[in-house]
Amino acid sequence: MRLLTFEHDGQRRIGARSGDSVVDISRADPSIPDDMPGFLDAGRPALDRAQKALEVGEPALSAAEVNVLAPISNPQKIICIGLNYADHAAESNMPIPSEPVVFAKYATAIAGPGEAIRLPTTSQKVDYEVELVAVIGRAGRNIPESDALDHVAGYTVGHDVSARDYQLEKPAGQWLLGKTFDTFAPIGPDLVTSDEVPAPHALGIRCILNGETVQASCTDQLIFKIQQLVAYLSHVFTLTPGDLIFTGTPSGVGMGRTPQRWLKPGDNVVCEIDAIGRLENPVV
């Protein structure tokens, strides 16, 4: 299923895409929780009921008449992996990590499709990073790699917007601050369930800035695969439904270019992953 969170008649709801329409699954079956983490936490029975509502096909709205929001706006955790593509580590002048490099964003950074990325007045070096985002569906701690993908509900497209001057030029580096300004975590539009993504490590991934392709790679270039990340992280903390794992970005970011290229007001950024979706955000 291609799940989405949308607003209609002033209410936030969960839907599933069916061609050009959106089936309002929380209205079709009121037992389905109307927030995405709650829905994912309800597990297989809720997914089965949603699938049934999708097959019935009503109530349906045309995709054009719904306001699509970020699929998840209130995760317990937004976990990000740095330097997880070998070509990006090289352009950052960093060695290939021997263990995942982990940092985080706060939920206040989340933005939906079409929502503006707001450049902070205190940063002059804001950069783009397209990323595949794994969404946790089933809670777990100390998850073995062999079970890890069973804990992933699905995938969405993410944009790890990054203020490089905070991240790299402040004393000791301020990764957290540089990564978590408001609107620095656009995600969406759809959460594509895992059953529709049988090969998450074979997806073309691109970032297109003002019509020019600036990043183009494949998720087969990930140094640490999704199952390794889920296992590694869950040995430290409990993963819970709705947690987001930004899996890292390929080469081509503005920092690694000559001359360097920073986001400016009026830019338009499209992050695109095969079979997952296309996430577009203007910059103001």
Binding mask 69-88 toward Zn ion (x if CB under 5 A, else -) reads: --------------------
Instruction: Specify which residues 220 forms β-bridges with.
Output: none
- CA–CA dist 223, 246 (Å, integer): 13
Residues in contact with 141: Cβ distance below 8 Å, sequence separation at least 6, in sequence order: 234, 235, 237, 238, 239
Residue with Cβ nearer Zn ion (80 or 152): 80
23 exposure class (CB count in 10 Å sphere: 0-12, 13-18, 19+): buried
Question: How many residues of this chain bind Zn ion (CB under 5 A)?
Answer: 3
Piece of the chain touching Zn ion by CB under 5 A; list 54-62, 216-224, 245-253, 261-269: 245-253
Shortest approach of Zn ion to residue 248 CB, angstroms? 6
**Terminal CA-CA length for the chain:** 33
Residue with Cβ nearer Zn ion (21 or 156): 156
Shortest approach of Zn ion to residue 27 CB, angstroms? 36
Piece of the chain touching Zn ion by CB under 5 A; list 11-19, 39-47, 110-118, 126-134: 126-134
Residue with Cβ nearer Zn ion (136 or 253): 253
Please identify which residue in 24, 129, 190, 243 interacts with Zn ion, judged by CB under 5 A: 129
For residue 283, give both structure tokens.
Answer: 């910059």
Shortest approach of Zn ion to residue 84 CB, angstroms? 8
Residue with Cβ nearer Zn ion (193 or 281): 281
Residue with Cβ nearer Zn ion (24 or 160): 160
Residue with Cβ nearer Zn ion (119 or 245): 245
Asked if residue 249 binds Zn ion (CB under 5 A), the reply is yes
Shortest approach of Zn ion to residue 78 CB, angstroms? 11
Shortest approach of Zn ion to residue 67 CB, angstroms? 27
Residue with Cβ nearer Zn ion (240 or 249): 249
Q: Which residue is nearest to Zn ion (CB)?
A: 160
Helix %, strand %, coil % for the chain, to 5?
25, 35, 40
Residue type, 35: D
Name the helix (H) or strand (E) containing 106.
none
Residue with Cβ nearer Zn ion (129 or 272): 129
- CA–CA dist 121, 223 (Å, integer): 34
- CA–CA dist 148, 229 (Å, integer): 9
**Per-residue DSSP letters for 188-229?**
EEEEEEGGG-S-TTS-EEEEEETTEEEEEEEGGGBSS-HHHH
For residue 168, give both structure tokens.
Answer: 């790299």
Asked if residue 251 binds Zn ion (CB under 5 A), the reply is no
Residues 21, 26, 28, 32, CA torsion sign: positive
Q: List the Cα angle 243/245/249 in 5-degree steps.
A: 155
The footprint of Zn ion on residues 144-183 (CB under 5 A) is: 160
Contact present, 140 and 234 (Cβ < 8 Å): yes
Asked if residue 127 binds Zn ion (CB under 5 A), the reply is no
Shortest approach of Zn ion to residue 131 CB, angstroms? 6
Give the residues lining the site for Zn ion (CB under 5 A).
129, 160, 249
